[in-house]
Amino acid sequence: MRHLKRNTKFGRNSEHRNAMLTNLASNVIKHQRVETTITKAKVVRQVVEKLITLGRHAIGASKELNVHLRRQAAAKLRTQPRSLFRGTPTRKGKVAREEWREENDLVHILFDKIAPVFKDRAGGYTRIVKLGQRQGDAAQMAIIELVEFPSDAPVAKPVGATQG
């Protein structure tokens, strides 16, 4: 019996499972949508919604609480709470640092771009869209995406629809 056993194991040890969920949550935050299996999508939804809630609490918070919440989110995402990017061997300076921050700094994206969009929403920041079975192993696939952001996917036409 599985009474009071809340987490899904995925056939992995705890370190591998936590790393997988962290990577999936990071990709949802960075790209606003990720294609994965339904089971993984349901588990990563909990992680992403808690992170967005941290970001929402930081909007009207004092500076000390804001720093604390950013550090909590950074620990969950296994990233630095501050941008320590110094540049690459070919590109250095403030411009490269700002570009990196806008594209790759997960804490900045979460707190400064995603959380303000959801500031008036009490919950339900993500949606799971079922896709069907994967070709290789017939696993049920799904897309997990943020609700308020526009979808880049093309609109699927119904079967049997004619062009005209």
* pLDDT reported for residue 90: 80
Task: Look up the pTM and report it.
Answer: 0.82
C-alpha distances out from residue 120 to 116, 141, 142, Å = 8, 31, 27
At the top level of CATH, which class does the domain 14-146 belong to? alpha beta
* pLDDT reported for residue 152: 62
* pLDDT reported for residue 154: 38
Could you state, in chain order, the average pLDDT of each consecutive group of 10 residues for the chain (164 residues)?
Answer: 79 90 94 93 95 92 91 91 74 80 90 92 93 92 88 44 42
